[in-house]
Structure 1
Amino acid sequence: MKKSRILSIVLTTALLGLVLTACGKSQSSNKKHLNWTTNASISSLDPSKAVDTNTQQAVYNAFSGLVSPDGSNKVRLATAKSYHVSKDGKTYTFELKHTKWSNGQELTAKDFEYGIKRSADPKTASQEAYYMANIENYNAISKSQLSPDKLGVKATGKYTLQIKLIKPQPYFLNLLVLPVFYPQSESVVKKYGKSYGTSSSKMLYNGAFKITNWTGTNDSWTLTKNKEYYNADKTKLDSIKYTVIKDPQTALNEYQNGKLDQTTLVGKQQYNSYKNSKDFHLRKIYSVRYLSLSNKNEPAFRNVNIRKALSLIIDRKELLNDVLGNGSTQARGIVPDTLASRNGKDFNDYASVSDAVNGNVEQAKKLWKKGLSEIGKKNLTISINSNNGEDAKPIVEFIQNQFSKLPGLKVNLTLLPNTVATARFLSGQYQVAVTGWSPSISDPISPLNIRYSTNAMNTAKWSNSEYDKLIDKSNDDDALNPAKRWNDLVDAQKVLLNDQGLIPLFQPAQAELIKSDIHNVRFYGNGPIWDFSETYVK
């Protein structure tokens, strides 16, 4: 399991990357304030429900967990000042720093206990609670067989938190960077009830920033310095204003005019205009964009030949070169390249299946004809869901065009606001969804886990018993045997690809411009992406 960040997820096709310089002279007049842009709004400030990338970006900067990401598969201490792991690897004990909430109220181990148990409660409906699967009693709680109070998380002292696992989990610390493990104030949650997290004023924060000026419906919000943050002396910025700008050219113009301190470069034209500049930086994002085919909502997708035909008809090279043209690379599976390696070889060097990630029009049409015959149909009409961002539209239109090459297939497009598209994906209300997954820790289990039959993120309802057995084996019998566990995960991706349980498209790369006088913005290829806690302007 890994930090989701679902892809972070979802349905947003422009990924965040880092460019350390700018075009032209910085016009920032306020050295304590930055103007940032993104292509989609946030959906909720409730840590238990933070799923998509933009939401987790905001929540990460407004909360401090026990630990924080520190690049690759490393973590650093955050609200925890120390921790101890028992000899059997099943009990973690954290000693907390003496910190406060943004309203000055003392933050204790009880806040962590409450927040984690609230995320585990099925009534909360957290999409990422499954990351707690290895915590004592979680599985029974998730099935409503036990009260969330029975979860193996307990404040054993005012500043001491104990977490008990059912078995050793080598990457457990990395999971603790996820919002579902953040502290929450019980009194605030109960005060606001169902409206908790629906606006920035109905929250408490313990991170470097507070979120302000977000009503729950507007396309702008501000990260405002939290003076009660335990490390506030290192937080140099007073605020970062986020503005949603869906048109990349508008965002670039605002950047060039000095109204923005950062902008993402989108598309071939912008990419080519800046790719030779000494200020240009390109980041490979630890994410894979793919098509999710709903076996639940479209019975035809239960046929493996139909699924394979839809994958084979797609010309990935044309998608990469003519549609994207931004340095993105072909996906070789659901696990991103460079995420994990063994013996000097990338995971996908072991686990990719060529026929599942490349195009072949002739073979696609043969399998399509065979599949239609097997399901007793001569034609089929399907709908593709995606967000309506300017960066997403060319991709989904390209897929529509590619699918239409299959005889008897009619393809409709449903373009929706990001929050609506995300909600529909999470609730399984689609036939084909353009989506993706951004792992939160550098381990293949995170992207692979989203196709486990009972995983909440498996909204397509694809199921394969052999696949489930391999995932189970990697988590159980082979959990402490790195070589065997690696082979389990390699075999699992091969099963997924051979059965075309999803259609991999591409691994995004992202260029971004940032004014050259802005320093120390931490960037993560996966996870929360940007960390502004020690950013400064000089």
Structure 2
Amino acid sequence: MKMKSVVKLGVVGAASAFLLAACGNSSKESTSKYINWQESAGLNTLDASKLTDSESMVMVGNSNEGLLLNGPDNTVKPGVAESYKVSKDGKTYTFNLRHSKWSNGKPVTAKDFVYGWQRTVNPKTASQYSYLLDHVKNATEISAGKAPVSSLGVKAEGDYKLVVTLNRPQSYFKYIVAMAACYPQDKSTVEKYGSAYATNSKAMLYNGPFKVEGWNGTNDTWTLVKNKEYYNASKVKVAGIKFTVQKDANTALNQYETGQLDETTLVGQQQVGKYKSSSELHNVKQASTFYLEMNEKADSYFKNANIRKALSLVIDRDQFTKDTLGDGSTSAQGIVSPGMSQYKGVDFTKAAGTKTGVSYNASEAKKLWAKGLKEVGKKSINFTLLADDTPQGKSTTEYLQTAFSNLPGLKVTALNVPYKTRLTRSQNGQFDMVVSGWYADFPDPISFMSLLTSDGSYNNGKWSNAKYDKLVKDAEGSDSNNTAKRWDDLVNAEKILMSDQGVIPLYHKVQPNVIKPRVSGVQFFPTGLSTDFRDATISKK
């Protein structure tokens, strides 16, 4: 289906599949029938309704499947739904499902989608992704506990037809239904395991190309194993993918070079430089932004705009991305990453960018800092900077501590914790300042902009601005079918966010990976499911 909008999606939406050839690198290759893949953080959950992190998304997205799948160049392709149609008013979607099975041989039906969607919006589930379904009839009322779950605008007409009713048109709805929050779920399995559902690989059913095995909920190794019940199993060419969490970048690279890993993420200039001329190096562009959130609820001084602006102005993002990260990542241009969308040939970041909120000016930072301290009645401030304990997380906090030391009277203590712990503390407001990252769910600026509304479930810092809220609301509501107005709403919202320094954007991520020549066909997507293994192959020796 073509979008009615004249907004043209940019290059960030293109998928890339790597087709590797040997390049004479001296590193050894594995002879395993499995692909050996590195992860820098542990698996958090296999619950499609509750996942929030990219690692869980990759595992769930490869072991389960929704109505539609990510395709190249911001397209979608058939998943469990063989076809679909949209009503003229854009408010009714009818999906025709193929005959497919769960990993236990039980048929996947339209009722499984109804239950999965209802579970996502059910307030008892506490899904942070329930907002993705806010255009579905009654979803917002259900999430607020003001309507029964059964009233959600999704119904099964027989076993293989699903009808979805929206309360207003949504131009990017086809991308939403490809996401985990809209995956089918087997009610009997959810009820069987109760609170233990999806907390380990055995407490699950799978309808995707692979099954997860060997994850007990806390261990750092697990495997995606080919699902023989998958409807397209004959086209899945690998036995599976073995995942190992390795947080130390040097250890991971050594394991890659000695043939223990087929893939690893490179960190820093030295590692990237080593493979700069190698065909094993793949710089994967990601529609992502890493940024600082300041806890305005816990630390009242962060409510002061001059303090927030001073903290941003003292950060030299160009120096940080070049000399500290050194991995190809680029300085932040705002909260929305470049290439998300274009209107009349202009990229969103260029239309919304004013340099406000992402510039470096140490002398101005000191002036605003002094002014801010006076306004809040303080001579000094001490706070803790929370981040992941990954190599990139540690290098980020080290750089920021140095940058912030240029502000008189400021003492910053770094706290690097496991990824899962950082997520939990962020969500519970247990931080002063935290390094957060967001990977766009779909190729539209709203994927970023909706994060920071006053009631946004991912607005951990609790920044609030009524004008910003209204613009985002209009883009999703009254102006949703007017391309020009919707574009202006989002552009102006970004400008407000940056001028008020609601968050402090740091950089847009580029992920440098090295992958053995024996592996090909893995697809990378900038939005949604970031890594897709269904077409992966291993060359024969």
TM-score of Structure 1 vs Structure 2, range by shorter chain? over 0.9
1:266 is matched with 267
Listed as ranges, the matches of 1:437-476 within 5 Å are 437-476=438-477
CA distance in structure 1 between the aligned counterparts of 2:179 and 2:21, rounded to whole angstroms: 30
- What SS is found at the alignment partner of 1:228? coil
- What SS is found at the alignment partner of 2:453? coil
> Does residue 104 in structure 1 map to residue 105 in structure 2?
yes
Cα RMSD (Å): 1.5
How far apart are 1:18 and its partner, in Å?
6.8
- What SS is found at the alignment partner of 1:473? helix
Q: What is the one-letter code of the residue matched to 1:27?
A: E
What TM-score does the superposition give when structure 1 sets the normalisation length? 0.95
How far apart are 1:252 and its partner, in Å?
1.1
How far apart are 1:276 and its partner, in Å?
2.5
How far apart are 1:26 and its partner, in Å?
5.7
Listed as ranges, the matches of 1:124-135 within 5 Å are 124-135=125-136
CA distance in structure 1 between the aligned counterparts of 2:395 and 2:28, rounded to whole angstroms: 32
CA distance in structure 1 between the aligned counterparts of 2:162 and 2:279, rounded to whole angstroms: 48
Unpaired segments of 5 or more residues in structure 2? 1-15
CA distance in structure 2 between the aligned counterparts of 1:385 and 1:444, rounded to whole angstroms: 27
Listed as ranges, the matches of 1:15-34 within 5 Å are 20=20, 23-24=25-26, 27-30=29-32, 32-34=33-35
CA distance in structure 2 between the aligned counterparts of 1:330 and 1:465, rounded to whole angstroms: 28
CA distance in structure 2 between the aligned counterparts of 1:413 and 1:20, rounded to whole angstroms: 40
2:372 is matched with 371
Contact 1:20 1:281 in 2 (8 A): no
CA distance in structure 2 between the aligned counterparts of 1:346 and 1:473, rounded to whole angstroms: 21
Contact 1:17 1:285 in 2 (8 A): no
CA distance in structure 1 between the aligned counterparts of 2:360 and 2:29, rounded to whole angstroms: 47
Question: CA 1:51 to 1:20, structure 2 compared with 1: closer, same or farther past 3 Å?
Answer: farther
How far apart are 1:345 and its partner, in Å?
2.1
- What SS is found at the alignment partner of 1:124? coil
> Does residue 54 in structure 1 map to residue 71 in structure 2?
no
The one-character-per-residue Cα deviations of 1:63-92 (angstroms, maximum 9, x if unpaired) are: 010001113421111000111111111111
Contact 1:17 1:264 in 2 (8 A): no
How far apart are 1:110 and its partner, in Å?
0.6
Contact 1:18 1:510 in 2 (8 A): no
Q: Which has the higher contact order (CA 8 A, sep 6+)?
A: 1
1:533 is matched with 534
CA distance in structure 2 between the aligned counterparts of 1:60 and 1:24, rounded to whole angstroms: 34
Moved over 4 A (4+): 16-22
How far apart are 1:423 and its partner, in Å?
1.1
Listed as ranges, the matches of 1:301-380 within 5 Å are 301-380=302-381
> Does residue 122 in structure 1 map to residue 116 in structure 2?
no
The one-character-per-residue Cα deviations of 1:77-130 (angstroms, maximum 9, x if unpaired) are: 100011111111111111111111001111111111001100100110001110
Q: What is the one-letter code of the residue matched to 2:137?
A: E
Question: CA 1:146 to 1:414, structure 2 compared with 1: closer, same or farther past 3 Å?
Answer: same
The one-character-per-residue Cα deviations of 1:116-150 (angstroms, maximum 9, x if unpaired) are: 10010011000111011111011111110111111
> Does residue 385 in structure 1 map to residue 386 in structure 2?
yes
Unpaired segments of 5 or more residues in structure 1? 1-15
CA distance in structure 2 between the aligned counterparts of 1:18 and 1:125, rounded to whole angstroms: 37
1:171 is matched with 172
How far apart are 1:297 and its partner, in Å?
1.3
1:3 is matched with none
Contact 2:393 2:416 in 1 (8 A): no
Between 1:172-181 and 1:18-27, the stretch displaced more is 18-27
The one-character-per-residue Cα deviations of 1:15-37 (angstroms, maximum 9, x if unpaired) are: x997946734662323x311111
CA distance in structure 1 between the aligned counterparts of 2:50 and 2:74, rounded to whole angstroms: 24
Q: What is the one-letter code of the residue matched to 2:264?
A: T
CA distance in structure 2 between the aligned counterparts of 1:377 and 1:230, rounded to whole angstroms: 64
Identical pairs, percent: 45
2:295 is matched with 294
Contact 2:267 2:391 in 1 (8 A): no
- What SS is found at the alignment partner of 2:498? helix
How far apart are 1:526 and its partner, in Å?
2.1
The one-character-per-residue Cα deviations of 1:177-229 (angstroms, maximum 9, x if unpaired) are: 21110010100100100010110000000000000000000001100000000
Between 1:17-26 and 1:490-499, the stretch displaced more is 17-26
